[in-house]
Amino acid sequence: MSLNRDDGRPAGKPEKGRIANRRRARALAMQALYQWQMAGQSLNEIEAQFRVDNDFGLVDGAYFHELLHGVGRLSGELDESIGPLLDRPLAELDPVELAILRLSGYELKQRLDVPFRVVINEGIELAKQKSATEGHRFVNGVLDRLAPQLRPAEVRQRQPGH
């Protein structure tokens, strides 16, 4: 086991606090994206409001910023990737589920340091907490089809027989 961190923790094993801080950043980013979709405010205004209204002491603020602005910047590309996987037009999606799919799609596309299974699981957990009763199943189905498009090598490597 290599120890290449200053604090002596094994490489590749993030501390539980960092994982929880990222989870909170995802949850707040999803809520902020929902607000952006519904109200059309600027991302900078929404971010400022969220930073005032929420305790960011246990939130990965940099990750929140990246997710919020990254999804905003790439929303067209993300929608093009997500749209063909849906059973209805994008405009008919539940806004919470759309925010989760965009957020997860961004992480699949841009954050290769986060394993695709973690991205999918985090999206499902957000949907269980914030979307309609069976929303997590819908999110799971879409992300299961999106991951091989955005991370083909990683998904292939994780399949049995590889």
What residue ranges define each of the domains in the chain, with the CATH number in brackets? 16-152 (1.10.940.10)
Mean per-residue pLDDT of the chain: 89
CA angle 42, 45, 48 (to 5 degrees): 145
The two three-digit tokens of residue 59, written as one number? 């939130």
Contact assessment for residue 105 and residue 78, using Cβ atoms and an 8 Å cutoff: yes
> pLDDT tens digits, residue range 120-131?
999 999 999 988
Least confident of 28-37, 50-59, 130-139: 130-139
Contact assessment for residue 145 and residue 85, using Cβ atoms and an 8 Å cutoff: yes
Where residue 134 falls among pLDDT bands split at 50, 70, 90?
confident
Contact assessment for residue 70 and residue 107, using Cβ atoms and an 8 Å cutoff: no
